[in-house]
Amino acid sequence: MSELALIFDKLEIDTSDVLEAAATKWNFLNFKPGLVGGHCIGVDPYYPAHKAELLGYHPEVILSGRRVNDYMSTFIARKVVKLMLAKNIAVKNSRALILGITFKENCPDIRNTKCIDIYHELKQYGINVDVFDPWAKPQEVEEAFQFSLIDDVFQHTY
């Protein structure tokens, strides 16, 4: 689904509109594009891929899917910057807020989160990035990523 979202973006078609239209079909499976993180999704495809390669087979589909999913963080950050430029918002020294650092909803686990990739990509553009996540444990975020979560989004202006 993420790869389709990349193609739709190139075509200047809203992915949400495509999904809404597709949902009218009786057998539609409601997958959505996005960040794919977490241990099982982020790492486990490498286990069968490694074993297959040991046996002399290069699993193209499994590894290709992983490459697409790994690229989504960069795509999202670049899309944000392009939208800012289109709206004449100065990118350098601007402020951005990431809502959520955990890899799935209602779970405090930050291992293998792809949100950190968006954070770093935006920082490379000179954007001041804050992160808010009521589920994440602040000390774990500081130890893992060397920044502090904000504890109140209403104390800041974006």
pLDDT, tens only, 96-142: 999 999 988 888 999 888 999 999 999 999 999 999 999 999 999 99
Cβ density class 67-83: b for 16+ within 10 Å, e for less: ebbeebbebbbeebbee
76 has a pLDDT exceeding 60: yes
| Section 87-104 average pLDDT | 94
Q: How confident is residue 40, by pLDDT bands cut at 50, 70 and 90?
A: low
| Given the residues 11, 29, 40, 55, the one annotated as active site | 40
pLDDT for 111: 87
- Whether 107 is catalytic is no
* CB atoms closer than 10 angstroms to residue 46: 14
What's the DSSP call for residue 132?
E
Structure pTM?
Answer: 0.82
Structure tokens at 111: 């291992």
Residues 6+ apart with CB under 8 A from 2: 33, 34, 36, 68, 69, 72
Q: How confident is residue 42, by pLDDT bands cut at 50, 70 and 90?
A: low
63 has a pLDDT exceeding 70: yes
d(CA 72, CA 34): 7
68 has a pLDDT exceeding 70: yes
| Section 80-100 average pLDDT | 97
